[in-house]
Each structure stands twice: as C-alpha cells, then as structure tokens.
Chains A and B, each alone.
Chain A
Amino acid sequence: MALNDRIVITGIGLAAPNGNSLAEYRQNLLDGKSGVVNYETRYMPPVLAGVCNFDELRYQTRRDVRRGTRAGSVAVYCANEAIRDSGLDWETVEKSRVGVYLGITEHGNVETENEIYEISQFDYDTKVWSHHHNPRTVANNPAGEVTLNLRITGPHLTVGAACAAGNAGFIHGLQMLKLEEVDVAVAGGVSESIHTFGIFASFQSQGALAAHEDPTKASRPFDSARNGIVVAEGGGICTLERLPDALKRGATIYGEIIGHAMNSDASDFVLPNFKRQAECMGLALSRAGITPHDVDLVSSHATATEQGDIGEAAALQLVFGETNAVVNNTKSFIGHAMGAAGALELLGNLPSFDDGVVHATINLDSPDQRCQVSHLVVNEPCDLRSVQHIVNNSFGMLGINSVLIVKKFDG
C-alpha cells in the first residue's frame, strides 16, 4: 500500500459518561466504573442515562454555549482536546486543508422539543419560536460549530448513520485523506440524545428501555437479565493524518486504520441481520489484508436488547468462532452513546496496544446462553500481553453496519 494511503490516528479527544480524557476513561473502564446515573427528562418518570460532565467552558464562551447545541459543545470540546493531544502546531496548520467529519445518529430533536415546550407555555403562539432554531437544527450543526470554534475553513459535514455513525465519521475522514482533499481530518462521532424525551419514550414503547434499581447495573449486554438500552450522550473525536505527514512531524501514533467496511441489511427497520453484519466484518478484514485469526480483540456493538445481542453473537461466532479473539463491550459501562458509541468504544480500547490489557464487559452475571460468544471478557479485564489488531463493530437502525479495523503502529 502506498504510504499516502496509510491513515493513522494522531490525537484523541473524548467526553464519556465516565471520563473526560482518554486516560480517565480508560482507567474507569479497567476499574469497572460505570457512568450511568438516574436522570430526569420531560413528560416521563425518571429514567437512566449516561451523562457527561465535561467542562463546556474550557473551549467555548458562555455566549457560544447559549447559542449552540449540546452536540455542538460536545464536538467542540472533543475536537479541541484531540487537536491539543495531536501536538499539531495549530497556529501554523493550513485551516483550509482541515476537514471535520462527525457521525450522528440524529440531530435536531433536542432543539425542536425545547422550542415546542417553550411555545406550549404561550398557548402555542409561534411568534415566540426562536430564530436560533434553524442554525441549531441543521444536520451539519455539530461539525459546523467545530469549524466556527477552531476557524477551520475546509469542508465539514455530519454523517447520519444511526448507531453506526462513530465508525462512519472515521471512515469518511480517512477517505477524504486518501483522496487528498484534506491534510487533517477531525473525525469521529457525537451525541446529545439524552436531552430529548423522545428517544427514551420511543425505546420504552419498543420495550427496549433499560430499568434497574442500581443505575450502574442497568446496561447488561449479553446478560440474561438485560432489559434494554441505557441512552447516553458523549463524543469521541480523533485527528487522522496520512502516515508520511504524521511521521514527518514526529507525531504520536495511536494506531493505523487498516480496514473498514459499511453495508446494509436491507431486511428490517430495527431488527439486525447477523449475516450482513458478518459480511461487513468479512469485508473489513479482506480490505485490511488480515484473517480473523490475526484479530486479538473485537469491540462489540451489543446494546443489551435481546434481538441485537443474539444477532451480533451469531455474527461474531460466524467470523471469529474458531479464533482466539477476545470480545468486550463498552456499553456495559457507559450505555449507548448513539452517534458517539462507535467512536468511544474504539477509543477506550486503543490503549490496549500499549499495555496488552483489555477492559471487560461488566454486569455479565448470568450470560445469555443464546449468545454463544467465544472468549467474552467477563467482568474483569484480561491481560493478553500483546494486542496487534482491534475490530470495532457499530450497527444501527434501518440496517446500517460499520466495521473499523485498527492495527498497532509498528513503523
């Protein structure tokens, strides 16, 4: 592969319900510390959610926070953290050669609900509807807020990809780098989903909203006592660069993205299709030029719904059933961060390249026997001594699948 086609991760910024930096987040994943808490939303009894507590004012003025959206604030925080972490001399970076590509599950529901609530206090007089509604709800909002904040003049867009969006953001970024349309891609995924009741109410109506007297035990992928999804907010954003550029400036390289794939189930609005998921993993492996036996760790997507967990377990068994690859699940700690899920789940696993340790799937007290996942990392981290390849799964509604394969950088 030509050097310019090799894309590497050089900076990481994140906001997770259990950590506002990679170091804090990773430590809490190793320590089994959940970020799920009791949470109030409009119109409904209290629910559970993964809630972030990053400092919005670290990179934004209060005026910018007021005018923008929560997803925008998440994105601005993560993008700034990633750029700072990358070591890029930001003042001298050509801003027209930087692109921002952020995956989102949805955007605009929060702001629309807020406005409808507001006008409901005025007998639905639309004259009190805010002029901020349109700039807050355009689909590119989170990525656009990043460009405004960092004075980036290259392209920006969000990638709407349901819960496959985090990987999709990375994939779009790496493709733009390979096409040499940009020199730095600020890529990943964000979510503000917990700030609207609708997502909770919809999952509840679907029979897929988690409940538990102990919030930290509510997110239970692959466990027989699971009862649904814990919705979370958050963001995970990286700086991606072509390998020669990263080497030239002596950047820290967290990993090389050697394979990716996206496909569609074309079978159901919400139910997963394990064959298509397995095909997606297979395509990513093929593009990476490796076999399932080369994979050390699979970061699973499983959301703690019965159909989803069983489906992914079947897909994993098809692809990795005969291998020694271990499987973990980060949603068990933070819930389902929607557009940020794929990004956060990958980022939490990248430190295993350095120490060989893989964080667990927690709350797995009574494994669902219908989920035959070989080598699931159960409740305690495991020390593999060495991790060379990570497969990151992310799947979403309308049958959208995304897989990313990252390799430890070894020159």
Chain B
Amino acid sequence: MTGEEIRQVVLEILERIAPDEDLSDLDDAVAFREQMELDSMDFLDIVLELRRAYRIQIDEKDYGHLTTMTTTVAYLEPRLKDVSVAG
C-alpha cells in the first residue's frame, strides 16, 4: 500500500468508529483526539481493525505513533508496503 492508500484505510476505520463525525476536513497534522470524540476504547478499535484487516500487530509501546494521521501513516507505511488494500 502507498501512503495515500494507508491514509484512506485509516480514514475509513475512523468513519466506522465515529459514524456521527464529519471527517471531511480532518487535519492530518492535528491529533485525532483533538478533532473528534475518541476515547481509549475507540482508539483500541483502530488497532483492532488494522489487526483484523491486515494482520498487523501493533504493540502498546507503539500506540504513541497513532496520534495524528501523518504519524499513523508514517508508522504503518513500512509495515504495510508489501500488503494490498483489503477488498
């Protein structure tokens, strides 16, 4: 997956987790939690959905990388470079 494809995957996960939010103007440089209602259980949904869809195991010590869209994509890009977008 390219960085842009990963961004789209993460955005779709966020839309499922927060279906009442309008994410069309999400700022990639700003923390997710500052732009949307996202508590710790919601955050774990991001981790779980990535695990289910792409079998990627994100260790708790790495959760800090999933703060903004920019840092999330940067963290995932090398780990998903040989993986295709799930159908």
The residues of A with any CB-CB pair to B shorter than 8 Å are 61-63, 66-67, 118, 122, 127-128, 130-132, 135
Contacts and interface: CB of A to CB of B under 8 A. Distances in A.
Contacts of B44: 131
Contact of B19 (A62, A122, A127, A132): A62
A62 B16 CA distance: 10
Given A62-B20, A63-B20, A66-B19, A131 B52 contact: no
A62 B18 CA distance: 8
Given A62-B19, A63-B19, A63-B20, A131 B57 contact: no
B48 interface: yes
Contacts of A61: 19-20
Contacts of A128: 48, 51-52
Given A127-B57, A130-B48, A63 B18 contact: yes
Nearest to B43: A131
Report, as a range, how many residues of chain B touch the other chain: 10 to 19
B37 A63 contact: yes
Nearest to B53: A128
A44 to B, nearest CB: 26
Interface string B29-48: 00000000100010011001
Q: 9 smallest A-B Cβ distances: which pairs? A: A62-B19, A61-B20, A131-B44, A128-B52, A62-B20, A63-B20, A128-B51, A63-B18, A63-B19
A135 B45 CA distance: 14
A122 B49 CA distance: 13
A118 B51 CA distance: 13
Nearest to A67: B41
A127 B51 CA distance: 8
Contacts of B17: 63, 66
B74 to A, nearest CB: 24
Nearest to A65: B19
Contacts of B41: 67, 131-132, 135
Nearest to A130: B48
A118 B49 CA distance: 12
Contacts of A67: 41
Nearest to B38: A63
B20 A122 contact: no
28 contacts: A61-B19, A61-B20, A62-B19, A62-B20, A63-B17, A63-B18, A63-B19, A63-B20, A63-B37, A66-B16, A66-B17, A66-B19, A67-B41, A118-B52, A122-B52, A127-B51, A127-B57, A128-B48, A128-B51, A128-B52, A130-B48, A131-B41, A131-B44, A131-B45, A131-B48, A132-B41, A132-B45, A135-B41
